[in-house]
Amino acid sequence: MKKHKGLVAILVLFLACGVLALVSWIPVTELIKLDMVDGNVRIALVTDLHSCYYGPDQRWLIERIAKESPDVILLGGDIFDDGLPDDNAHKLIEFLVTQYPCYYVTGNHEFWSGRVDEMKAYMKSIGVTVLDGDCETITVNGVTIDVCGVDDPTYMSEEQWLEQLDAAYAKADSTHFRILFTHRPEKVDIYSRYEFDLILAGHAHAGQMKIPFINRGLLAPDQGFFAKYVDGLYTLDNGSVMEVSRGLSRESTRLPRFFNHPELVVIDLY
């Protein structure tokens, strides 16, 4: 009898985990409002897609983005994957770039694929602005914004990566609203040396399993166990605000998400 009860308990546990994983597969839109500019700007942050499937021709994700009517889209790295084919990423980006200004920084998986130069060239060829140590000034609804971006530092020395960051920052104007667009959230000690108003990142996948109530991830790349910078807003020592997206990866990851819906992040600056 005890053995039977034990097997039932194990079965119930497995079923509960399966249901939780399926629920955590459902994507959500996270709307963040930041009182930081004199005007109104809406940014859609799309990160860590990993070329995952969101319906025929990526219609689910395209319609979710269209519903939010963003002024600009930032593609925050790992849009492509080093294992899955590029088709889903291509379908999404080729539509988005016809509707919105799009900016892109690389992630580690683009470098791991061995095709990062090809991916950058593709982005440029369809009209996406690639930021790899550069800064673009845009004006949206009367608000002037400098969008500065850096490559993922996977195969760079820290000195090389800092050269990119310095070059991008040097092009930013202190009278403009300054955004640092980067794949990595964990480099907060470095980001705190610069006077960016807003930092946008992904990469952590919220630690794959987000620990309830304490906003920590069980295990995140480059942060280890009980990772801190995994989801939502953080204020750095210098006053910069950093938003970390949980990303949109699903079937590309070996481990299921728990307490961790894939997300489209929409940021309202006002």
- pLDDT 10s digits, 119-149: 999 999 999 999 999 999 999 999 999 999 9
40-58: pLDDT as tens digits: 999 999 999 999 999 999 9
Residues 40, 269: contact at Cβ < 8 Å? yes
**Is the pLDDT at 102 greater than 90, yes or no?**
yes
d(CA 238, CA 192): 5
Is CATH 3.30.390.50 what the domain over 28-269 is classified as, yes or no? no
State yes or no: pLDDT of 94 exceeds 50: yes
Q: Which amino acid is at 236?
A: L
Q: Where are the alpha helices (DSSP H) in 100-232?
A: 108-112, 116-126, 158-170, 188-191
Q: What is the mean pLDDT of the chain?
A: 91
Name residue 163's amino acid: E
Mean pLDDT of 105-123: 97
Q: Is the pTM of this model over 0.85?
A: yes
pLDDT digits (tens, 9 = 90+) for 201-221: 999 998 778 888 888 988 888
How many other C-beta atoms lie within 10 A of the C-beta of residue 59? 14
Domain ranges of the chain: 28-269
